[in-house]
Structure 1
């Protein structure tokens, strides 16, 4: 499927699973929607923490993309969304049209799913893609730089990589800085506050074999973690692993 075909299926409710491995070669985005009164401060916060929250498009008016997937409707073309009130996920839905209000500002944020094709093409198969699972994601103790009341800790995604390919994975992903870039940690989950790697905070548990090392990348679920810790009155995010698939090729973001 092309990204446009996939988004059409999503809008019809025919595709609601995680998007890892879908539309290889096209970038995928995290999404955060905040009331206007918080948006400017969040944008400044994201700029100061761009490795974890690399914003690629901001939709100040309406709810259609004009850069990453021209005309795509952010309200219905993401497989699942989380509705947060006072920092708590109160509902997960497949269409946020009933929750839309004109003062919402939408942020589309780079996602590590976007460099997975490059990893696979360079001889690094990904177990969650092969098994059609969601990627494993963890809260960490990595503090973000606070800006104008926004603060919190980073969330990371984990991919097991063969020991002899770890350096290759770091190099390949470093060429995608707007998709989180190189790993933030290699091989020592306890150093970033992860005590039980078999129990991710988001997504699915992924086996790590004896000849593999877990690599951890900053994750676009970080804003949801921040919103939760700050207890913001209202926000909408993508559900972890259920991304906005764009019309932009990953090659356009290779640096």
Structure 2
């Protein structure tokens, strides 16, 4: 059965219900706008001998890698602190397997790949603050056009930690300049899900040569009176992994997040 991704489904489906649909491959789409009110998370799964370096990388780079949860110990695939019966092996709509920095495979579950050596990291996602922007009357173009948010590689270097280094990936939402200022004010309240935008206007200043050709996700309409607004993005670790080349790593597919039971409102700091 395929789930009908209507506006009603976005509003009414709970986080637990959506995870159950994902677990049984009834939902395999991007998760922006679904299970409203709940924190969504980016996923990085690494062998335990790489975990300390990656944890340090997250602590050094909280804008692109805001850590909201991780395994209590290697081999744990349940994440009870993040939600009821969450099984990280099945409850993400899409996974990516990397070996030595190369994308090997995209999967809808990772049971066959699981081992007692693996440590899971869950990072905050910009989809969580979209709800606050919409509540303030701002349009989120990727939601209104039913697309995966556009994401771009930049020339903004992350701080190196152990074996991990690389540049920041950003997500983009077009807005009128006055709305971009309001977005900065709103998102500053949510540092656990990337916080305020890190740039707006002039994408070439951060190394983006073609705004209509994102590296991940889908292009959205940018109107004549709008500027592109960029947030640090949780896909950053995927670019870092390509450069660092651990022998084995699993991530979410861009736009396909873990839905937690944590309330977005609980992350607001002001």
Q: Quick check: TM above 0.5?
A: yes
Which residue in the other structure is 1:99 paired with?
A: 113
Cα offsets for 1:212-246 (capped at 9, x unmatched): 11100000000111001112211000000000011
Aligned residue among 201, 223, 247 for 2:215: 201
- 1:163 Cα deviation after fit: 2.4
Contact 1:29 1:246 (8 Å CA) reproduced = yes
Which residue in the other structure is 2:249 paired with?
A: 235
Residues 41-120 of structure 1: pairs in structure 2 closer than 5 A: 41-59=53-71, 60-61=73-74, 62-120=76-134
Which residue in the other structure is 1:16 paired with?
A: 28
Which residue in the other structure is 1:151 paired with?
A: 165
Structure 2: stretches of 5+ with no match in the other structure: 1-12
Contact 1:64 1:70 (8 Å CA) reproduced = no
Matched residues in 2 for 1:70 and 1:227: separation? 30
Matched residues in 1 for 2:227 and 2:38: separation? 27
Matched residues in 2 for 1:32 and 1:121: separation? 30
Which residue in the other structure is 2:143 paired with?
A: 129
1:142 aligns with 2:156: yes
RMSD: 0.8
Matched residues in 1 for 2:145 and 2:176: separation? 17
Matched residues in 1 for 2:183 and 2:62: separation? 20
- 1:45 Cα deviation after fit: 1.1
Matched residues in 1 for 2:183 and 2:215: separation? 24
1:3 aligns with 2:23: no
Matched residues in 1 for 2:78 and 2:203: separation? 38
Residues 178-193 of structure 1: pairs in structure 2 closer than 5 A: 178-193=192-207
Which residue in the other structure is 1:26 paired with?
A: 38
Superposed structure 1 runs of 4+ greater than 3 Å apart: none
Cα offsets for 1:174-204 (capped at 9, x unmatched): 1000100000111121111000010000000
Matched residues in 1 for 2:114 and 2:214: separation? 31
Matched residues in 2 for 1:27 and 1:46: separation? 18
Matched residues in 1 for 2:156 and 2:77: separation? 32
- TM-score, normalising length from structure 1? 0.98
Which residue in the other structure is 1:249 paired with?
A: 263
Cα offsets for 1:116-140 (capped at 9, x unmatched): 0000111111111112210000011
- Say which SS state the counterpart of residue 40 (structure 2) adopts: strand
- 1:71 Cα deviation after fit: 2.5
Contact 1:110 1:220 (8 Å CA) reproduced = yes
Contact 2:145 2:220 (8 Å CA) reproduced = no
- TM-score, normalising length from structure 2? 0.93
State the number of aligned residues.
255
